[in-house]
Amino acid sequence: MHLGVDALPTLMRDAGDRNRTSPFAFTGNKFEFRAVASNQSIAGPLAALNTIMAESLDYIATKLEKAGKKKKFEQAVAEVLTEIAGEHSAVIFNGNGYSEEWHKEAEKRGLLNLHTTVDAVPQLAAKTTIEAYGKFGILTKRELDARRDIAYEQYVKAIIVEANIVAELVNTKYVPTTIRYQTELAQNVAALKAAGCKADLTLLEKINGLLAELNEAMNDLAILRSHHAKGLAAEAKHLCDEVLPQLNHIRTIVDSLESICPDEDWPMPTYEEMLFIK
């Protein structure tokens, strides 16, 4: 790579494979967007990257123009790059970006660690974001505020739809199927006792416990779904912190039921069928 600067050594192009431990990988000469859903667009992130690049180049050019009258160009370039590396080296980490080690290290370095969409959305209209986009006339504060609100609204609608679907699946498919199997087990136990045989209640008791746990979880979900916060941000926060964990809890219970109910009776394709059979 020839940058036209004599003060820097020749930099070799990145010849390695992409960094598989980075959710947003920089692969030598490009950023890599991974697993973008069909309803998503990389236009927003690309606009942000191009804005950052433009602001950075403008910053460097301004520094060099001011220093050019007093210093040699090569010396000015070296000083500016040294300054940038010193100020921003905290973002460089070549280890596992998913590890708890990096999370702790990032916190020590003062870097943002936004775990959820709800944590990240406010950054769309943060002061620094508004300044960067506004400097080059790309997006105004009003436009960024609108994008933030739209992101909240999309998130709220998506989680509400997911919660409604979970409630429908559990009430119309998983619970009835489990009750039918519970009835079969109970009839088997009764028949064994009537024949004078000792019945093993282990499986029936496990089904009873999981079904009771599922019913309780669904009641809690109904209460959480009836909540209405004031404003999109507050509603998104409620859905993220309260409803999503409850949906995951329900999913764990249903997964346990799937592992013990007969495959031929289970109303949805099982993990085994999806991964290995069909």
Q: Is 41 left (phi over 0), alpha (psi -120 to 50) or beta?
A: beta
pTM of the model: 0.79
Residue 176 and residue 35: Cα distance in Å, rounded?
36
Domain assignment present for residue 128? The answer is no
Which of residues 113, 135, 165 is at a domain's end?
Answer: 113
Residue 91 and residue 34: Cα distance in Å, rounded?
20
Position 271 scores a pLDDT of 82
Task: Say whether both 162 and 105 belong to one domain.
Answer: no
Domain assignment present for residue 141? The answer is no
Q: CATH number of the domain that 267 lies in?
A: 1.20.120.1560
Between 84-98, 157-171, 204-218, 238-252, the lowest mean confidence (pLDDT) is in 84-98
Which of residues 113, 137, 161 is at a domain's end?
Answer: 113
**What count of residues does the chain have?**
278
Q: Over the stretch 222-239, which tens digit does the pLDDT of each residue have?
A: 999 888 888 999 999 999
* 177 closest CA partner among 275, 264, 271, 272: 264
Residue 251 and residue 247: Cα distance in Å, rounded?
6
Calculate the average pLDDT of the chain. Answer: 88
The DSSP H or E segment spanning 180 is helix 175-194
What's the Cα-to-Cα distance from 10 to each of 26, 82, 110, rounded to whole Å? 20, 17, 32
Domain coverage including residue 2? 1-113
What letter does residue 93 receive in the DSSP assignment? Answer: -
Position 176 scores a pLDDT of 96
pLDDT over 90 (residue 242): yes
Domain assignment present for residue 242? The answer is yes
Domain assignment present for residue 135? The answer is no
pLDDT over 70 (residue 17): no
Task: Say whether both 163 and 242 belong to one domain.
Answer: yes
The CA angle 241-255-99, to the nearest 5 degrees, is 55
Report the domain count for the chain: 2
Report the percentage of the chain scoring pLDDT > 70.
89
Residue 168 and residue 157: Cα distance in Å, rounded?
17
Residue with tokens 């013990």, as numbered in its chain: 260
Which of residues 113, 140, 167 is at a domain's end?
Answer: 113
Domain assignment present for residue 144? The answer is no
Position 274 scores a pLDDT of 85
Task: Say whether both 108 and 154 belong to one domain.
Answer: no
And the tokens for 183? 């009835």
Whether 234 and 183 have beta carbons less than 8 Å apart is answered as no
Between 29-43, 76-90, 149-163, 179-193, the lowest mean confidence (pLDDT) is in 29-43
The DSSP H or E segment spanning 110 is none
CA dihedral 152, 153, 156, 161 (to 10 degrees): -150
Q: Is 231 left (phi over 0), alpha (psi -120 to 50) or beta?
A: left
